[in-house]
Structure 1
Amino acid sequence: MLLGIDVGGTFTDAVIIDDGTIVSSAKRRTTKDNLMKGITDALGAVMTDIDPKVIEQVTLSTTVVTNTIVEHKEQPVDLYVIAGPGRNVDDIFPVRPVYLKGYTDHRGIVVESTKLEDVNHIAEMVKSRSGTDLAAVSAKFGVRNPKEELDIAHALGDMYDTISTGSALSGNLNFPRRTISAYFNSAVASVFKEFKNAVYHALETYHISAPVYILKADGGSLPIDTVESTPVETVFTGPAATVLGLEALRSAKESHTIALDIGGTTTDISLWKQGKPLMTKEGVSIRNYPSAVRSFAVTSVGIGGESVVRYAHGNLTVGPERLGPSVALGGIIPTLGDALIVLGKAHYGDEQKAYDAIARIDTTVDARNMAQCIVNEAVRVVQQGIDTVVAKENKRPIYVVADIVHPDPFVPAQLVIVGGTASSLGPIIGDQLGLPVHIPVDAAVANAIGAGVANHTMAITVHVDTKRRTMVVPELGIQDRSSSLRSAQAVEEVAYQLLREAAQEQKIVSLDERANIETISVEDFPVVDGWQSMERIITVKVQLQAGVSSYVES
């Protein structure tokens, strides 16, 4: 049996799945001040009459890392960069970086080595001012040769508890994105460790000893102990769980589908073509900073079942804040959920308290009319978000000839809606957009379903310079200076083998299981030398295919 847990900002959901069938499911409140309690409550509801020994695997998704960053509650980080010649990067990172002398060129040749004695002297001054135990190191072209990053990280090892390097987080070129990933990776290290410990303690309460995995932003999962060194990968796992839940429930059947996950705090919007979710081109933005974290193309708007309703000077707003439960559930500020109760679209808690709270917003207006205005405003915000996402997709740059010959602009054909507020608000959104609406039977716990059946995955990038006979795999720390690889096909074959070995080493794929590997990208550039192009620079990125291991019947 598979156990899926989604720790959201409002609710913690849990499901147990056996051979594609949901055995039990539960939704409990997330206890932010004590995450273990919320997880334990959800586990207690689904583990009734279940022998913990039959749980084969536990997979989680969480908004803990995302919320920490969004709320600016991450820990301070000393950011060291080796930028070399070129653009000024003072203002493109979350903090002003500490510049170190040194330079690695585009071929991976260390043109100017960083003097480690200078690094130690600079770091002592920097750390005395910041007082932090967290650091990040990133070098331009570090993916072509991570030596400078690794040497500096080693030199700083006695001064900082946690040090993230850009090349270990992404094998792609794009120095700013890798640097931002490294910064946030260190910034959320402590909160992720606390979350991991809470998970283990909750599982121990019910004597569950199965392997524990956690979802990444790209829809794959990794062992939670492995992810402790790369916690930034878990940013936006909530939306990823939504996408996987929809895939597992086989809900996005139309050629062009808009999927909504309406939770207690936000609504996540994703687009699907031919039953497949769209991905970001380069990486997701973390608090408006472009990172190297590969992710589904998901956009969030601040509308959820517990979005706060405010009315002042004739101006009505719904969200984006959430300040507690709906009045019907003991809250003190009216919410969108209270308005849906007044309209008869939802039924929970003390419905009279919900009616009284909506009526008090403006005593000159009938409570039902006020509730309708609240719902209309919420739908307007969601519709605006949908329009923005669709327009952005249709303006996306074209990279291949096939898209020119056979254009496929996104024209919405249906809405698929999940989340706790799906059944009450979803049909209203569908009516407003004039689109058919599909709400799966298990819509309320779709995220936990998606987490439970997520494939295990990891990605590596293999970079080969045939003239220098070098092969670098940044994510694995491999630097081979005697490579005989000469073609993109040969590099791709080696990449597949290295990925399979790494997956087996990390116990992601068992030794007798053949991994389903896909090629993400292949770059093959000739090196012109003496008017000839006998040599090449080849970069291949491969990964264990993300997605779901099985479909789930509602």
Structure 2
Amino acid sequence: MIIGLDVGGTHADAVLLSDKKVERSIKVPTDTSNLFNTVLTCFNLLLENIKPQLIQRVVISTTLTTNSVVQKNIDPVGIIVSAGPGIDPDNFRRGNHYYPVSGSIDHRGREIKPIIHGEIEAAAEKMKKDGIKYIGVIGKFSPRNPSHEITIHSILKHHFDTIFMGHKVSGKLNFPRRIATVYLNAAVFSMHKNFFNAVTDTLKQKGLTAPIQILKADGGTMNLHTSMEFPGQTILSGPAASVMGAIPHAPDDKDILVLDIGGTTTDLAVMVNKAPLLEPVGIGRGKHKSLIRALHTTSKGIGGDSEVTIKRGAIAIGPDRKGPAMAFGGNTPTPTDAMIYLGIMDAGDKSLAEKGMAQIASKLEISPQQAAEAIFTKTCSKIVELTRKMVERINSKPVYTVHEFLEGYKINPQQILLLGGPAPFMAARIEEISGIKTTVVPMSSVANAIGAALARTTCEISLLADTEQGIESAPEENYTETITRNYRKDDAMKTAQKLLEKKAIQSGAIEENLELELTEFQEFNIVRRFSLQGKIFRVKMQVKPGLIKGFSLAS
């Protein structure tokens, strides 16, 4: 049996799965001030009269780190950057404790200028005085040679609680995005640490010894302890869970829109032939354009509990949520109140929903019935318009799925899969407005948790081999070995596969779920004075995102 748990900012959803069905599902309020109690409540309800040893796997997704970034509720962190010539690191400043320092390494991993220890120590003293606990260290070409980052780490390690190094969080060369990636990992570390402790303490109390996995932004999982080294990978974990929850119900050979309509936001995504679209470079949210591998998702502030207001004489939906619907004790009218008033949804206190509709009606000088209908229609229309805009944006650029690059492909949605609590009540109107067949995913209110439970462990590696220097290396994996001039493509592929399999197993994968694929291969000749001096090989390989084997929950 498997447990899937999705911890959101408003509710935590949890499911207990056997190999053929959802045995139990529950939803409890999230108490961000006491996550231990939230998680414990979920496990208590799920595991009543269930022996802990029957649980084979626990997978958790969370929007807590995403919310902390969006709401700018993150810890101040220190950043030390070693850039060298050719780029001004101040152009990529993050936070108020940002220190460019001397030292540089070139694109082939050769030291040009050394680190100056005094600069590092001076920066450390300033940050300590300001109470900084978490640090990020980034060198421009550290994926080719991490020695400067390692040196800076050794100088700082006794002064700060946690230090993130650029070559560890990503093996890709995009320097500005690696700065943002390290910053995000450091900034959400404290929030994730609290979550980590709540989960581990709960499991200890319940006597659960099953492997614990965390869902990442790319729709794959990593084990709980690994997540402490890469907490930024849990950003957009929630939307990724939505996509994974839709996969079992997606038809083959079609372009599918996935909409998860929650209380506060609607998450939107696209699948092509059951394969989710991928952000080819990494997560980009506002000024934070990172190298964190992620599914292509969009989140917008419109949901069942969105605040309904009047602006310039017209109804406005969201983007704020001021609490629950009036029918459930809230203070502002919402689309949920409109659906309850119209009889589409049978829940809550209808008399309170009627008061909400009367408030809107009086401002527009229309009847409450007309106000409710207008609110409901506008909510569904706005969600449909968001999907159209998303498809237009996707079709304006090259299309990547988690499996391949689709050259010249244009998305043409043929079906909408709806998830989330309000999904069953909005499906017919969304289909009417969009003209696209719309289907509600089974168990839609807990589909996130189901998606998390079934997600496969994923990871990727980057390998660089330089036969002139006689070295092959994967700094993310602490791997460096000498090679000969006879080194060839097959050698690079074998090393990459070996490293990826080892990393995947350490991250919590089991062999039967390992599907490896090559995502990038480059080979360059090193020519000097018209003579071949050697070759450079670059290999990127991944474990494909997807669902674990042995479970069948398709409708």
The answer to whether the superposition gives a TM-score over 0.5 is yes
SS of the counterpart of 1:417?
Answer: strand
Aligned to 2:20: 20
Q: Which residue of 2 aligns with 1:77?
A: 77
Compare 315-324 and 475-484 and name the one that shifted more: 475-484
SS at match of 2:374: helix
CA distance in 2, matches of 1:246, 1:371: 30
Q: How many Å apart are 1:101 and its aligned residue?
A: 0.6
Compared CA separation, residues 365 and 253, structure 1 to 2 (3 A) = farther
Question: Counterpart in 2 of 1:216?
Answer: 216
1:43-58 map, 5 Å: 43-58=43-58
In structure 1, C-alpha distance between the alignment counterparts of 2:71 and 2:158, rounded to whole Å: 31
Most deviating of 13-22 and 471-480: 471-480
Residue 138 of structure 2: aligned partner? 138
Q: Does 1:342 align with 2:341?
A: yes
Partner of 1:384: 385
Residues 331 and 115 of structure 1: is their aligned pair in 2 closer, same or farther, counting only changes over 3 Å? same
Name the CA distance, whole Å, in 1 between partners of 2:45 and 2:424. 22
Gaps of 5+ in 1: none
**CA drift at 1:42:** 2.9
Partner residue in 2 for 1:395 = 396
Structure 1 residue 487 displacement after superposition = 2.4
Tell me which amino acid in the other structure corresponds to 1:523.
Answer: Q
**1:445 corresponds to:** 446
CA contact (8 A) 2:77 2:187 kept: yes
For structure 1, which segment, 211-220 or 419-428, has the greater mean C-alpha deviation from structure 2 after superposition? 419-428
CA separation in 2, counterparts of 1:321 and 1:176? Answer: 32
Distance apart, 1:35 and its partner CA: 2.2
* 2:295 alignment partner AA: F
**Which secondary structure does the structure 2 equivalent of 1:59 belong to?**
strand
Q: Structure 1: which amino acid aligns with 2:472?
A: M
How big is each residue's C-alpha offset from its partner over 1:293-329, in whole Å with a ceiling of 9 and x where there is no partner? 0100001111111111122552422111122211111
Equivalent residues of 2:14, 2:25 under 8 A apart? yes
**Cα drift, residue 365 of structure 1:** 2.3
Is the Cα contact below 8 Å between 2:485 and 2:534 reproduced in 1?
no
How many residues end up aligned between the 2 structures? 547
Measured after TM superposition, the shift of residue 368 of structure 1 is 1.9
Q: Which residue of 1 aligns with 2:371?
A: 370
Shift of 1:201: 3.1
Which deviates further from its counterpart, 236-245 or 111-120? 111-120
Cα-to-partner distance string for 1:421-457 (whole Å, 9 max, x where unaligned): 1111232222111110111221111110111111112
Note the alpha carbon deviations across 1:225-267, whole angstroms, 9 max, x for none.
Answer: 11111100111000111111111x2324451111101111111
Asked if structure 1 preserves the Cα contact closer than 8 Å seen for 2:252 and 2:273, the reply is yes
Instruction: Please state whether the residue corresponding to 1:536 is helix, strand or coil.
Output: strand
Q: Which residue of 2 aligns with 1:543?
A: 542
Partner SS for 1:66: helix
Match of 1:429 in 2: 430
SS in 2 for 1:90: helix
User: 3-state SS of the aligned residue for 1:552?
Assistant: coil
SS of aligned partner of 1:431: helix
SS in 2 for 1:141: coil
| SS, match of residue 279 in structure 2 | coil
Q: Larger deviation: 436-445 or 308-317?
A: 308-317
Give the whole-Å Cα distance in 1 for the aligned partners of 2:433 and 2:93. Answer: 40
State the one-letter code of the partner of 2:310. Answer: Y
Q: Which amino acid is 1:239 matched to?
A: P
Asked if the contact 1:524–1:539 (Cα under 8 Å) also holds between the matched residues in 2, the reply is yes
Mapped to 2, the partners of 1:449 and 1:476 lie a distance apart of 31
Q: Do structure 1's residue 316 and structure 2's residue 287 form an aligned pair?
A: no
Q: Verify the 8 A CA contact 2:245 2:448 in the aligned structure 1.
A: yes
Distance 1:38 1:398 in 2: 39
Aligned to 1:296: 295
1:260-292 Cα shifts (integer Å, max 9, x gaps)? 011111111111112211101110113432100
**Equivalent position of 1:515 in the other structure:** 514
CA positional deviation for 1:396: 0.7
Measured in 2, the distance between the counterparts of 1:484 and 1:41 equals: 60
Deviation at 1:84, TM superposition (A): 1.0
Structure 2 spans left out of the alignment, 5+ residues: none
1:326 aligns to what? 325
Moved more, 479-488 or 275-284: 479-488
**Could you tell me which amino acid in structure 1 is paired with residue 445 of structure 2?**
A
The one-letter code sitting in structure 2 at the alignment partner of 1:17 is L
Task: Report deviation, 1:152.
Answer: 0.6
Q: Which amino acid aligns with 1:435?
A: I
Match of 1:528 in 2: 527
Contact residue 456 and residue 509 of structure 2 kept, 8 A? no
> Identity rate of aligned residues, in percent?
33
Tell me the distance in 1 between the aligned counterparts of 2:433 and 2:253.
19
How do residues 494-505 of structure 1 correspond to structure 2 at under 5 angstroms?
494-504=495-505
Change over 3 Å in CA distance of 1:225–1:403 after alignment to 2: closer
In 2, Cα distance between equivalents of 1:115 and 1:445: 53
Letter in 2 for 1:348: A
Query: For the structure 1 residues 329 and 268, does the alpha-carbon distance in structure 2 shift closer, same or farther, using more than 3 Å as the test?
Result: same
Measure how far apart 1:188 and its partner are: 0.8
Match of 1:150 in 2: 150
Tell whether the 8 Å contact from 1:340 to 1:371 is kept in structure 2 after alignment: yes
Report the CA distance shift for 1:152/1:342 in structure 2 as closer, same or farther (over 3 A).
same
Q: How far off its partner does 1:74 sit?
A: 0.7
Other-structure match for 1:196? 196
Q: Which residue of 2 aligns with 1:358?
A: 357
TM-score between both structures, scaled by the size of structure 1: 0.94
Does the C-alpha gap of structure 1 residues 397 and 545 become closer, same or farther in structure 2, counting only changes over 3 Å?
closer
> What secondary structure is seen at the aligned counterpart in 1 of 2:278?
coil
